[in-house]
Amino acid sequence: MIVDDIFDLVSYRVHPEPHIRLNQDTCRGCTHRACTFACPARCYTYSEERERVDFAYEACLECGTCLLVCDRGALDWSYPVGGCGVRFRLT
């Protein structure tokens, strides 16, 4: 199974408040933007126009990869409120 196949096995119940918050002031100093490459759900994108990383929490797989690759401490990461977030179908 490849990573893209995972998306066929998940569904989401999105809470209106994000479970991950990106501190833009801290993030702006980052030159490698590892989160935009490491996130398997592609939740992080770099906007050339706005010169910043944007984050869409709605498709997050809650794997924590972004937290591991962010060496600037720009993320306030927690799991979603109970009953919300990603749901994996195992069959």
Strands 75-77 and 20-22, bridge-based pairing: antiparallel
The predicted pLDDT at position 6 comes to 66
The predicted pLDDT at position 87 comes to 84
Domain that holds residue 47: 3-88
Structural domains in the chain (count)? 1
The identity of residue 26, as a single letter, is: T
pLDDT in tens, 16-48: 999 999 999 999 989 999 999 999 999 999 999
What is the average pLDDT score of the chain? 89
Token reading at 44? 């992080």
Q: Which CATH number characterizes residue 40's domain?
A: 3.30.70.20
Say if residue 4's pLDDT is above 70.
no
Say if residue 65's pLDDT is above 70.
yes
The predicted pLDDT at position 5 comes to 67
